[in-house]
A and B are shown apart, each in its own frame.
Chain A
Amino acid sequence: MYLKTLRLNNYRNFLKLSINFTPNLNIFIGDNAQGKTNLLEALYLIIRGNSYRTKNDQELINWSNKSTCLYGEINKDEENFQINLSLEKKLESFNKFKLIKTIKINQNIQRKSILNKEFKGVVFSPEHLQIIKGAPSIRRKFLNEQISQIYPLYYRHLTDYYRILGQRNNILKKEINQRGLRERLLIWDPQLIEKGSFLILTRIRFLKKINYLADKFHQKITKGKENLKIIYQSNILKDQQENISFISRAFEDKIKEHKEKEIKYKISLFGPHRDDFLVCINEFNIASYGSQGQQRTSVLSLKLAELELIKEREGVYPIFLLDDVMSELDEERRHFLLELIMDKKVQTFITSISLDYFNSNIKEKSKISKIEGGKIFAL
């Protein structure tokens, strides 16, 4: 799958733009605040129908305008798709605007979900370092999003689990006597354990899979110097078990054992809603011991693994968007990363401040454009 053409109209700092891409590597060079990331965001909008940077679509419209249009052509399995996305501010009452978003595939108006089903994209941006550095909730979100895409049943169990958790916490917060409280919890515990154990098992299996892929990429980028290990951290299990009845028994025991504590703190303390995962390089947890470059490389490896998972499921590679990835990697890692991408035949878009990061072989095979003040020039 690859993007052939992009045209923008009154989008962010681009008033008018038209560009063709190669199915391989596309490089955008430019100084700070010229529009490199905006351009990547536009590509993502064409593929997915929403931005990965903001929830407020209004930001996408150029300051001095009321509407924006994006147009892209995607080739998937030798078939051409034309995608139009337009955003328009409509006056509702005298000072209130309503934003209207229209998505068209081959001139027919479609819902975003149709677009999402057909086209995939993987983004790496500096914010994704939070997967390593950030709070456990960010890692859980990453896991939940990734697994839900592959496994719809997981999403259902997840929403069920959180519903049960809400009910259970509500009971714990109530002011009633110990016996009544215990009896009421007992009604919810079997369901909590059933759904929770399923979530834990699925997460462990998924991490195992993504670990295998990410480690392979990580070793390639670091020339075999570093190996990557992802470890699921459950507050129920001591080690990564893959037996559902074992997990549910451990879950049950844990809740039984610590009921006093839960009643004291008035909240559910155990289960997948408190779980986390560690990323280790050569057995060291990189959230605490890794360098910036190592953290960045590991997230990249995870993203490359995500690419493979999508390819495995959909049969074609998604489009790969790399925002400002080069600056913190050393020359060797840059080299191996670019080689890896070129080998895979994944259409990739990279933004960079300088062209020095790319060697002559890569420059020859890729399309390089310079971005300056919302305008684009071929180099």
Chain B
Amino acid sequence: MSFRYTKPLARLIDEFSKMPGIGPKTAQKLAFYILKNSSERVASLAKAILEAKEKVKHCSICGNITDQEVCEICQNINRDKSIICVVEKVRDLIAIENTGEYKGLYHVLEGAISPLDGIEPENLKIDSLLKRLKTEKIKEIILATNPNIEGEVTASYLNRLIEPLNIKVTRIAYGVPIGGSLEFADEVTLTQALMGRQKIK
């Protein structure tokens, strides 16, 4: 028989181990860390968790995370409101936002089409995107779904839906990572990069 934790501790470990990237050992470590801390600190942690869950919502326009009805990006009057970048997840939005280069708006799909995972087009935020295209004055849509099968299929599906609306649709480019060295790039990426080569300006 292996050692049994008292019930409250076992429950805490169990809850931790449900989190992404956390196995039984890490869950145990975190639980003991909590026990070691003062009651005030633990209370403040619990409060932070609850508050984050209660206050953080999805933007009613683009699906970005925010604590208001409409997110900061959608509210910002300095941004280019004629261009929308479509991404799968909020994390992709943050990645693009961190480049500081993109000044347009976003739309988060909350996934990509994948019947094997039970995600069909109607489970994605596609209706709200089409509604935006009809009500806002959009000139260009950038499809920035992931360069894997599901992302590609989602992009070509969206392209087919948007085409009749007379809006320019673009897809992000594939290629070699900048600052890296060619010898370490995999064959498929290199082939794609060669196919998508450009004239030097």
Residues of chain A at the chain B interface (Cβ within 8 Å):
152-153, 156, 160, 163-164, 166-168, 170-171, 174, 184, 187-188, 190-191
Q: How big is chain B's contact interface, by range?
A: 10 to 19
Contact residue among A152, A160, A170, A184 (Cβ-Cβ distance under 8 Å from B149): A160
B178 beta carbon closer than 8 Å to chain A = no
B5 → A minimal CB distance (Å): 22
B87 → A minimal CB distance (Å): 19
Q: Which residues of B contact A166 (CB under 8 A)?
A: 116
* Cα distance A174–B157 in the bound complex, in angstroms: 20
B184 → A minimal CB distance (Å): 14
B121 beta carbon closer than 8 Å to chain A = yes
Q: Which residues of A contact B183 (CB under 8 A)?
A: none
Q: Which residues of A contact B150 (CB under 8 A)?
A: 167
Q: Which residues of A contact B156 (CB under 8 A)?
A: 187, 190-191
B14 beta carbon closer than 8 Å to chain A = no
Contact B120 A184 (CB under 8 A): yes
Binding site of B, secondary structure by majority: helix, strand, loop or mixed? helix
B117 → A minimal CB distance (Å): 9
Besides A152-B186, A164-B153, 10 other A-B contacts (C-beta < 8 A):
A167-B114, A167-B116, A167-B150, A168-B115, A170-B115, A184-B115, A184-B120, A184-B121, A191-B149, A191-B156
Contact A152 B116 (CB under 8 A): no
The 8 A-B pairs with the shortest beta carbon distances in the complex, nearest first, are A152-B187, A170-B115, A156-B188, A163-B149, A171-B115, A187-B157, A170-B116, A167-B115
Q: List 17 A-B contacts (CB under 8 A).
A: A152-B187, A152-B188, A153-B191, A163-B149, A166-B116, A167-B114, A167-B116, A167-B149, A170-B115, A174-B115, A184-B120, A187-B113, A187-B121, A188-B153, A191-B149, A191-B152, A191-B153
> Which chain B residues (140-180) contact chain A, with CB distance < 8 Å?
149-150, 152-153, 156-157
* Cα distance A160–B151 in the bound complex, in angstroms: 12
Residues of chain B at the chain A interface (Cβ within 8 Å):
113-116, 120-121, 149-150, 152-153, 156-157, 186-188, 191
Q: Which residues of A contact B116 (CB under 8 A)?
A: 166-167, 170
Q: Which residues of B contact A184 (CB under 8 A)?
A: 115, 120-121
Of all chain A residues, the one with the shortest Cβ separation from B156 is A190
Contact residue among B153, B187, B188, B191 (Cβ-Cβ distance under 8 Å from A187): B153
* Cα distance A190–B187 in the bound complex, in angstroms: 24
Of all chain B residues, the one with the shortest Cβ separation from A173 is B115
